[in-house]
Amino acid sequence: MARGLIRAARKREMSLMHRPPGEEPQDELAVTPPKTWAAGVPAVTHALEYSLEETSVRRTGVTLLNMNQVGGIDCPGCAWADPSPGHRHLNEYCENGAKHINDEATSRRITADFFRGHSVSELAERSDLWLNQQGRLTEPMVKRPGSDHYEPVNWHDALGLISDELRSLDSPDEAVFYTSGRVSNEAAFVLQLFARAYGTNNLPDCSNMCHESSGFALHETLGTGKGTVSLEDLHHADLIFLVGQNPGTNHPRQLSALEQAKLNGARVIAVNTLPEAGLLRFKNPQKARGVIGRGVQIADRFLHIRSGGDLALFQGLNRLLLESEDARPGAVLDHDFIASHTSGFEEFARHARSIAWEDVLRATGLARADIERVRDDVLRSKRVVVCWAMGVTQHKHGVPTIREIVNFLLLRGNLGRAGAGACPVRGHSNVQGDRTMGIWEQMPDSFLDALRDEFGFDPPRDHGLDSVNAIRAMHEGRVKVFLGVAGNFVMAAPDTDFTEEAVRRCRLTAHISTKLNRSHTVCGETALILPTLGRTEVDVQSGGEQFVTVENSMSEVHTSRGRLQPASRLLLSEVAILCRLARRTLDGGAGIPWARFEADYGTVRDRIANVVPGFHDFNRRVTRPGGISLPNPVNEGIYGTSTGRARFTCNDWEMPQAPEGHLLLQTLRSHDQWNTIPYTNNDRYRGIHGSRKVVLVNPEDIMELGLSEGQSVDLVSVWTDETERRAEGFQVVPYPTSRGCAAAYYPETQVLVPLDSVADISNQPTSKGLVVRLEAVGVRSSAGRPVPATDG
Amino acid sequence: MTTIEETVQLAVPVRTAYDQWTQFKTFPRFMTSVVKVEQVRPSITHWTVGLGPARHEFATEIVEQQPDTCVEWRSLDGRHRGEVTFHETAPDRAAVTVRLQVVRPNVVVFLADASGLVRRVLRSELAHFKEFVEGLGEGNPGWRGTIRNGRVRPVESEPPRSHVPRWPVG
């Protein structure tokens, strides 16, 4: 039965790829046992199948063979670092990167006819899977007030509509400029320059929703907002923690680094609520042992932790390390390092010793012996790296959790030396670079001063709006214009219904995009689609062929040069669109040479060199093979904190609690998905086929809640306000999640994340640790009142 | 584990010898067996060495570094380690001693070591260094920071390399 359903789902998948789907896929859910290994030959076949069905053999060859090569196309799929030049494979990409890049290189096109045949309200009923499958956007489109259709508009008029609207606002702070992490350094720099010259710091970005907690915690404790490790450090670590991350799906090339580390003798401890395939075993399709052998075991130890228990885990671990030091004075802690490079140790130690074990065990769901075994691993290891992702950052206490991880690293001096350090694993390919370029609503005065000195205008100093506050401001009518550069804001944002209401209240929304997504269909009174070049495409300006630059998760800045003919002659690059818009909006361009910037991106890089520290001689250095490696001050012996030292911190926590009859929900992505966009309704590593509307629940919880496998339920989140947030019609799937913890796909369940539910300090929406109840369909409680499904 | 030690006497001040030695990227200029050196960080260097068409790459961590005194390193793969010490023998004279230890040799290194090739190459390269540093007579000012237990201690409170964006990255 299951096999038949899987075949049907696969067949549907294949037919979708041959031509744009007319209708939404309506496959039945089929569930198979979760995989216990990632990649291998199936990864290659799936990647090639998808690529070849999207586009031609030639284009597939061009994209794949240039991907992540020196002088080639930087894969927009993720921000994982590339091996150094000379050490890259001929095929230096993963399954998901190949699918993503050929999703962009697709041969399908959306023309004006498509929009004549589909009204905006009709498109708003479609899934992102369907919208994405329609192909590349090819010409600027406008939806005028009162109309329900997009219609063609030329670039001059399209940009004129935006600039007229911007110029008519009472204050520049009535506009927001959103960036997604695909945007190049050059476009990001131009965007923030335009926004600030226009007069606002309203620069929300996707970082606000993914690693904001990491940035705040690292900046406060280490004086740097970025991770401290390189690939070389990972390769030569003795012990690597993978906390709240799923490398097999979200950054598969990390598995190659982990494989190398394992072959060099490292141990790996995975900490997660789900035993993901990529945490267990990796079959490297580029190696014989991955094709015909058993591959490499990744996690030597898997801690099946409760959702949100990571802070308690590291606090318990830190206490154990302090007690080991008591038993063997001088043999456990790095006293020399603590004395000479840190502050706050005594207070931290007092606090750590005061934690109660019963609290730690309840919060983590682990046995004390589990944590003691981790301590033993740590004591045997001279060099430790801790990697983490959104399983940590998207909790209410994401910032204190990362601070506690830093405490853990500091205790044994695992910072500022080879093979050790902190590794926040970022998703979007240039999410780190965009922030480096000044896309942040709270940029420090030093940056704004440099901008002033370079361009001769005084940038606004008041902090702008981040993503959450931008949504609130749009909803309250304080923001009237939304410009999105890449991304799918309404789906990436929390509290989907509220966010959509907010966006619909705008006078004008405009998106610079390569493909159609829901953010084009949920729009303001006037809406614009501004189609742009993809990363894969040749970018020719009047100054000649251009390249752009990006920064990966390990602070390496390098070039990306497109190779394919653009999807349409009418596409403008992101830099070109922004420069033209700036020229139209700002009187006389505010003395900034926008036309030169558009003609030659090298002139933008020259200005970046003058404004952003560490980018001196940018144009020359970035074109060297491998580009520029930005030093991390921690590895230079510098801690730019308020004390000039790495800071130990005391972190109190409140255990995420689900009342009886409730579960803690986390969102996650499927293997056939890139950020908000599903490619199919399958998730083969987790054994889910044909449907994404599933909730993964521990079998014992299913029994305890009086539910049954395959039952249809609504997910209802419990929050302090009166609003009922409901995701309807999800099927219950028994899955080895931690007890009391459930998981469901992002972005379908973003509707459950209240806008006010944010991480302390970072204001990052909490897509993890949501308290939900599962209501059997047809058995609804009164709004906002938690009623366990069992009671129904 | 085998240890190979070689010393060379130099007619330059110890500071000149140290400054030249610690400009690792210049090694290919005077050492025939060093093809390329990249300095990833003050404490990490990446080496490509070779004889004839053969090439071998490895990364090293500098574990200890004291200006005009010593540089101690280990390869990150743990196969070999070494140290170089600098001594003032007279006001304008210095002795440089290199000590190499092969901890876990692979076949090629084992054969090279057993046949005395490693020692011969080391001796010859030190002679090249002597020729180079004495020929220059003075070195460019080198990095004067220290490294202890693999951890960098810069001289300046804000070394130029640490001038990079430090604001939080989401």
Q: Which residues of chain B make contact with A230, given a CB cutoff of 8 A?
A: 40
Query: What residues of chain A, 739 to 758, have a C-beta less than 8 Å from chain B?
Result: none
Pure H helices in A615-738: 618-622, 699-704
Q: Is A355 exposed, middle or buried (0-12, 13-18, 19+ CB in 10 A)?
A: middle
Closest chain B CA to residue A214: B170
Taken in order of first residue, the domains within chain A and their CATH numbers are: 123-209+430-630 (3.40.50.740), 212-424 (3.40.228.10), 663-791 (2.40.40.20)
A14-18, A291-295, A307-311: range with highest mean pLDDT: A307-311
Question: What are residue A142's DSSP bridge partners?
Answer: A151, A528
Q: Quick one: pLDDT at residue A9?
A: 54
User: Over 90: is that where the pLDDT of A14 sits?
Assistant: no
Q: Got the DSSP string for A767-780? A: -SSEEEEEEETT-P
User: Over 50: is that where the pLDDT of A783 sits?
Assistant: no
How many CB pairs below 8 Å do chains A and B form together? 127
Residue type, B164: V
Q: Which residues of chain A make contact with B151, given a CB cutoff of 8 A?
A: 337, 341, 413, 416-417, 637
Does A632 contact B153 at a Cβ distance shorter than 8 Å?
no
Q: Which helix (H) or strand (E) holds A696?
A: strand A694-697
In this structure, how many other beta carbons lie within 10 angstroms of the beta carbon of residue B64?
15
A779 pLDDT tier (thresholds 50, 70, 90)? low
Q: Which of A80-89, B73-82, B106-115 has the lowest mean pLDDT?
A: B106-115
CATH of region B2-23+61-140: 3.30.530.20
Q: Quick one: pLDDT at residue A57?
A: 84
Distance from CA of A607 to the nearest CA of B (A): 15
Comparing CB atoms, the residue among A416, A419, A432 nearest residue B76 is: A419
Average pLDDT estimate for A533-540 = 96
Does A635 contact B41 at a Cβ distance shorter than 8 Å?
yes
Is A4 at the interface with chain B, CB within 8 A? no
Please state, in angstroms and rounded to a whole number, the distance separating the CA atoms of residues A82 and A68: 7
Q: Quick one: pLDDT at residue A46?
A: 82
A158-207 pLDDT tens trace = 999 999 999 999 999 999 999 999 999 999 999 999 999 999 999 999 99
- The residue among B75, B84, B126 whose CA lies nearest residue B102 is B75
Does A637 contact B164 at a Cβ distance shorter than 8 Å?
no
Q: Which residues of chain A make contact with B170, given a CB cutoff of 8 A?
A: 205-212, 214-215, 431, 435, 440, 762, 764
**Portion of chain A with pLDDT greater than 90, in percent:** 81
Q: Is A58 exposed, middle or buried (0-12, 13-18, 19+ CB in 10 A)?
A: exposed
Q: Quick one: pLDDT at residue A786?
A: 37
Complex ipTM value: 0.91
If DSSP codes are grouped into helix, strand and coil, which group holds residue A147?
coil
User: Over 70: is that where the pLDDT of A755 sits?
Assistant: yes
Distance from CA of A220 to the nearest CA of B (A): 9
Cβ atoms of A776 and A702 closer than 8 Å:
no
| Chain B residues within 8 Å of chain A (Cβ atoms) | 40-44, 46, 59, 61, 76-77, 145, 148-154, 158-159, 161-170
Comparing CB atoms, the residue among B40, B61, B169 nearest residue A230 is: B40
A606-658 pLDDT tens trace = 999 999 999 999 999 999 998 999 999 999 999 999 899 999 999 998 888 89
Please state, in angstroms and rounded to a whole number, the distance separating the CA atoms of residues B13 and B20: 11
Does B170 contact A435 at a Cβ distance shorter than 8 Å?
yes
Q: Quick one: pLDDT at residue A791?
A: 32
Does A225 contact B168 at a Cβ distance shorter than 8 Å?
yes
Average pLDDT of chain A, as a whole number: 93
